[in-house]
Amino acid sequence: MDFKQRAKEIVAQMTLEEKAGQLRYDAIPVERLGIPAYNWWNEALHGTARNGTATVFPQAIAMAASFNTHLMHRVATAISDEIRAKYNEYKKFGDTEIYQGLTCWSPNINIFRDPRWGRGHETYGEDPYLTGRMGVAFVKGLQGDDPVYRKTDATLKHYAVHSGPEGLRHGFNVEIGDEDLYGTYLSAFKYCIDKAKPAAVMGAYNRVNGEPCCASPTLLQKILRGEFGFDGYVVSDCGAINDINAHHHVTGSPDESAALALKNGCDLNCGSAYTYLMIAYEKGLVSEEDITASCERLIEARLRLGMFDECPYDNITMDVVDSPEHQRLNREMARQSMVLLKNDGILPLTGSERIAVIGPNADSKTILLGNYNGTPSRYTTLLRGIQDAATGRVTYARGCHLFRDKLGGWEEHPLREAIIAAKNSDVVVMCMGLDPTLEGEEGDAYNGFSSGDKFDLELPAIQKQLYHEIVKLGKPIVFVNVSGSCVSLVEQDRDCSAVLQCFYPGAEGGGALADILFGKVSPSGRLPVTFYKSIDDLPPFEDYSMRGRTYRFFDGEPLYPFGHGLSYTTFDEKWLDRGHIEVTNTGNRASWHTVLRIDRTRCNDNTLRPTLTGFTKVYVETGQTVIAVISED
């Protein structure tokens, strides 16, 4: 089916005003041509988001820790099923509103270069190759495998060189050289375009070497369409085109910004800038041909989604939404995303111990959901998961507020309760760390005090106070850190019997944690980011050079390196060649195991740097040997 030709024929029947109206994210209807109004804005970061009930999978950074591209593909397929099911019902109203369509502004494949960036937990970590592989699996799962129609549209974001600081993003200019640009910041975009053919790319807020990303002839024309051969459509981040005049001061008015963006290849505008396109046309800043070209791309995208035809995905029903099958898949992804950082042998627990569960994240729903999330019909907090699985007595004490250390005299003072609970236990499980109110996107109301970013890598002071009081008691501690980024765990690595990184584990997170704590499954996650000891180990946040950042360019000693992750069993690897590895489970528990191939690559400064060039994940029974094959999915 020739969708390009059909799009040309449809657009040829439109007036100029109607064409311009299709270039807005809230596209206007053209009823005489059978084209309903359509809102292009939908989110699918780790589940269909902001649209009621949905399966809420672990946050993106957690799924990256699974190092399991096949599981990621299954998750993305489940997400796209739920999006399609909802769309099939919503379109019966005659149009679709925000978050009800098929065009997903996911995944976020920016490189998590600095742990202070609040949105880092939306990404797949610090490595370009891991990001590319997980991104390909996600895009393919979202877009489906029908040879004619796409199930949903995936959008790679934020193009490009975008990873904080959040508070400066609307006017920030990144000065970057080609080695870092192509070797780090653009690598995953090219990889995904080559191997998954994503429908769309979203431009970032910032400038790169002086050019606004949503109007950059270098990024959009020379590289994206020229060098990378991208033939989909480009959408702006929300309000980014208005930033061109308001904050970057590259243009003098909204109509000039709209013209600059359109002529350089931004087809669709999230925001208000393209409402000025007709003014730009009247001034001679854009031509009808410019508007027509972008309109044709967008109508072609809607045709490929089957919006004006009967297509194979029309029969997906609401039965799939947060279904038992998806909940089981969710739990499996949560299990594989948790990373055991330290274990002196205390884990797994028997379950019969007297367990004190302490900490502000223990019974928090917020930490399960991350950001850009849906609403699960059921969920299991970390506390509830432990309570449901343990056979011995479980005592709970919050211990402190997540971050607030000044309490009024009339408020609850929970520290002493935590001390009592710990004293009367055999083992303490401390559930601490951050949540999306402390790390997130600029503009989110709850973390506006730092525009969503972190000032340092430390736990909040009130949590440190609680931690120190519990450590004094001399009880064995299993420390469960919940965060979307690196937190300094130097004290915990020194003091605790076990340390487990939980990220934001999704609606099934509590059950998955219990499965690991009590040995129902062996932990198999690996860190997709470096865990540094201190913020003092890092260059300034505003410096986008990769020198001194991530496992590839960091010359210091990390607390836990990229790729670190322990198991309850042991493995022996025998490399037969670069792509085939004999993996033998030499321990006494069946488990998943990730094989990493890390080579040394030469940089422009003539140094050899470690670089992940391949990985695979295999399940190995006790005493069994399997052949692990490293291939590019």
**Residue 427: what are its φ and ψ, rounded to 5°?**
-150, 145
**Residue 253: what are its φ and ψ, rounded to 5°?**
-160, 165
Strand order in the sheet with 571-575: 571-575, 580-585, 625-629
Type of residue at 107:
P
- Integer Cα distance of 195 and 631 in angstroms: 13
Collapsing DSSP to helix, strand or coil, 501 comes out as strand
Collapsing DSSP to helix, strand or coil, 239 comes out as coil
Contact between residue 365 and residue 438 where contact means Cβ atoms under 8 Å apart: no
- Integer Cα distance of 414 and 359 in angstroms: 10
Dihedral (CA of 229, 232, 233, 237) sign: negative
* The two three-digit tokens of residue 204, written as one number: 């970032």
Pairing of strands 580-585, 625-629: antiparallel
Torsion angle, alpha carbons of 284, 286, 287, 293, to 10: 180
Dihedral (CA of 221, 222, 226, 228) sign: negative
Options 114, 153, 166, 237, the catalytic residue = 237
Residues 6 or more apart whose Cβ sits within 8 Å of residue 321:
53, 54, 55, 82, 85, 86
Type of residue at 17:
E
- Number of neighbouring beta carbons within 10 Å of residue 572: 11
Cis peptide before 60 (omega within 30 of 0): no
237 tagged catalytic: yes
Give the N- to C-terminal CA distance of the chain in Å, as an integer.
27
Residues 6 or more apart whose Cβ sits within 8 Å of residue 175:
209, 544
Contact between residue 325 and residue 331 where contact means Cβ atoms under 8 Å apart: no
* The two three-digit tokens of residue 14, written as one number: 């439109």
Q: Minimal CA–CA distance to 294: which of 271, 268, 316, 270?
A: 268
Options 300, 322, 439, 508, the catalytic residue = 439
469 tagged catalytic: no
Contact between residue 478 and residue 498 where contact means Cβ atoms under 8 Å apart: yes
What is residue 204's DSSP assignment?
A: P
The residue with tokens 């002529």 is 263
Burial class (CB in 10 A: 0-12, 13-18, 19+), 104: buried
Dihedral (CA of 487, 488, 491, 496) sign: positive
- Integer Cα distance of 19 and 4 in angstroms: 16
Residues 6 or more apart whose Cβ sits within 8 Å of residue 446:
436, 437, 440
Collapsing DSSP to helix, strand or coil, 389 comes out as helix
The residue with tokens 């854009």 is 286
- Integer Cα distance of 127 and 397 in angstroms: 38
Q: Minimal CA–CA distance to 520: which of 324, 353, 335?
A: 335
Burial class (CB in 10 A: 0-12, 13-18, 19+), 171: middle
CA distances from 333 to 563, 609, 626, 633 (A): 17, 31, 22, 18
431, β-bridge pairs? 480
State the catalytic residues: 237, 439
